[in-house]
Every structure is written in structure tokens, then in C-alpha cells.
Amino acid sequence: MEKILFLAHTQADGTLPSAAREALSAAVDLCRGLAGSSLAVGLIGQEIKSAADAIASCGAARFLAVTGAEFAVSRYASDAAAIESLVRQADATLIVAPATSRFSRAIPGVVQRLQGRIETHISGLDVADGKLRVQRWYYRQRMVATLTRSHRPWFLVVDAGVFSPWEGEAGSASPENVAAEFPENCTRTRVIGVQSPSANTQTIRPEADVLFVAGAGWTKKQADGELHVKEAEELILDFLKKNNASLGSSKSLVDQSVEGEAVLPFMSHLNQVGQTGSTPRHPKGLATCCHGEEPHAVGWRFINERRAINLDANCGWAQGKADVLYVADAFQVMKKVNELLGQ
């Protein structure tokens, strides 16, 4: 019999992030699938009542909470103390949590403290013959494994976009307050604030329907023998604005900034998709001026429909990595696309 604990933290406005609702879905499904198991909810934040009420009907037998000003911010020492207390209080054997940056930082240390085990980047959970089976990718989305463990406690950190967000009636939860034991020097780290990489442009939009990837070709000499970086910048930003798309990049393009070459000012390593970048989840992806080599294309694993524009008909996208490859000049095509989107 498993004791399942769903863990989440609140956001600045007191609500749960959507990734948390997705993880809750996974936890609820798991509780249904594992006969005789029970579900508890553990929440962390300055104030968690409204978040608890929003998920009051999820079927949890207990709501536990660590609250207070110290837990408003995302900091390893305080978060680890809070998570440890919640897991101990719930006596949990399976802990399901969303892969937020806050939990990704803090949970592994708690696993160490509790002598547990952990799986991260979970892309699937199912129960067969009464056993929990976890699916996750290895070698940066090159191969997928299904595994199980007997060791408990077992922490399951679920990637965003895998499960549908939990939906249910709000109600009135009665969270039990749990005291977190603060280690000495817990507040040696102070969170100063949040900074966007680009002052005037927010280009990373995880909720967007379309991922637009720009490759290094945008900043290379074009057919007329000249660089057209300013024009590239305008075309890309115009497309992002008109289509509300998220911006990705190949490694070679973002590396140019540290190598002193012409750069797109709104592009940073945060935009990088692929082996050493991110693996975003979007329904559609459009690659431009990018060759689609394997180290980049592995970052497209969770992009459902893929199209690419490239001058090279033999580029990587042509090798079964895209649904459609347009052999054309991306400057010309995107200019026309923007015109059509603006009509």
C-alpha cells in the first residue's frame, strides 16, 4: 500500500503553477491505479489557503502545509527543510512533484537526507500488475526507458506538458500546519529578485502553440554578399509578435555572442534548444536557417508537427526530422509570412 504525497509550492500570487496541476493529475491517477493507496497534499508557500481550496476536491485524505514568509522565496535551504518536514509528516512512500525550477533545485537534496531515490524528467507513469512503472528519456531524448524500483521513498518529478492539468471543484480544505526545522545559517542566501535576460522582449513562452527556431544562417552573409542582421531581427520579432510564438535557437547562433560575431540582441543561451539547451513542448515548430543536426534536433523531441525552411535540400531536417522542408530563402519567406499574418 503506497502513501502518495503530492507536493507543490505556490506562486507569488498564491496560486499553484500549471505544472503543479499537471503533477496533481498524475498523483490522482496513480492513487486510483495503485490499489489501497492513499493521497495527501503537501503545500509550501507564504500563504497556501487559496491554493489548497482550489484543489480541495482532488480526493486527498490530508492537506499538509509549511507556510510563512521564509517560504515565499525559492531558496534551497528553506525549501529543502519544508519538503523534508512534509514528507516525514506524511510518512510518504511515493512523492509526486512538478519539475519547477524551485523543486528541481531542492528535492534532490531531500532525497539524500531521507535516503530515498528519485526519478526526474518523467514523461509517463503507469501501473501494471500492481507495480508503478516510470518512463523517462536518457542521453538527452535519444532513447527512452521504462523502469521500476522497490526502494522507498521514491520521488517522482514530473515534466511539464506530460499530463493534463487537474480540473475539479474548488472547496474548503483544512490544511494541517507542519513545522519545518530550519538548519543553522538557513538564510545565508537572500533572493534579491527576478531578472529577464532581455529588457524589452520576452521571447520564451512555454505556453505558446508554436516554437520558432532561428539558426545561425540569419546572421550570415546573404545572397548579396552582405549581412542583414537588423532585418533578421525585425522579421523574427515581427513573427513572434504576430503569432505569439516562443523563440528557440540553435547552439551556433547563441554561441556567436561570446565569440564576438554579429548577434541578435534578444537571443541568449536561454533560447537554446537541443543537446545542451532545452527540450520544450509545443504543438508546432518552425525551424529557419538551421541545419537540423542531431544535437539540435534532439531538443525537438516533444514538438509534434515540424516544418523547416532551409536553402539546403540535404540538411538534417530532410533526413526524417521534419514533416515538411521548404527549400527557400527564410528572409523572403518570413517576410511574406508576416505580411499574411498581419492581414
Residues of this chain, 41-70, that bind other proteins according to CB under 8 A? none
Task: Find the binder of other proteins among 62, 88, 121, 281 (CB under 8 A).
Answer: 121
Of 146 and 177, CB closest to other proteins: 146
Task: Find the binder of other proteins among 196, 221, 223, 265 (CB under 8 A).
Answer: 196
Residues 6+ apart with CB under 8 A from 65: 42, 43, 44, 45, 48, 52, 175, 176, 177, 178
Cβ at position 91, least distance to other proteins in Å: 20
How many residues contact other proteins, by CB under 8 A? 101
Regarding 333 and contact with other proteins (CB under 8 A), the answer is: yes
Of 179 and 313, CB closest to other proteins: 313
Q: Tell me the residue type at 333.
A: V
Task: Find the binder of other proteins among 186, 227, 237, 262 (CB under 8 A).
Answer: 186
Supply φ then ψ for residue 37, to 5 degrees: -85, 165
Cell of 210: 508554436
Regarding 206 and contact with other proteins (CB under 8 A), the answer is: yes
Task: Find the binder of other proteins among 105, 127, 168, 261 (CB under 8 A).
Answer: 105
CB atoms inside a 10 Å sphere around CB 141: 18
State the residue for C-alpha cell 547563441: 254
- Rounded to the nearest angstrom, the gap between the alpha carbon of residue 224 and the centroid of all alpha carbons in its chain is 41
Cβ at position 60, least distance to other proteins in Å: 25
Query: How far is 308 from 304, CA to CA, in rounded Å?
Result: 13
Query: How far is 267 from 270, CA to CA, in rounded Å?
Result: 8
Of 49 and 291, CB closest to other proteins: 291
State the residue for C-alpha cell 537572500: 190
Regarding 281 and contact with other proteins (CB under 8 A), the answer is: no
Task: Find the binder of other proteins among 205, 227, 261, 281 (CB under 8 A).
Answer: 205
Regarding 112 and contact with other proteins (CB under 8 A), the answer is: yes
Task: Find the binder of other proteins among 104, 124, 237, 238 (CB under 8 A).
Answer: 104
CB 256 within 8 A of CB 249: no
State the residue for C-alpha cell 523531441: 301
Which stretch in 34-42, 103-111, 170-178, 226-234 sits in contact with other proteins by CB under 8 A?
103-111
State the residue for C-alpha cell 513572434: 240
The DSSP code for 269 is G
Supply φ then ψ for residue 327, to 5 degrees: -90, 95
Task: Find the binder of other proteins among 67, 89, 252, 271 (CB under 8 A).
Answer: 271
Which stretch in 54-62, 165-173, 227-235, 294-302 sits in contact with other proteins by CB under 8 A?
294-302
Of 177 and 187, CB closest to other proteins: 187
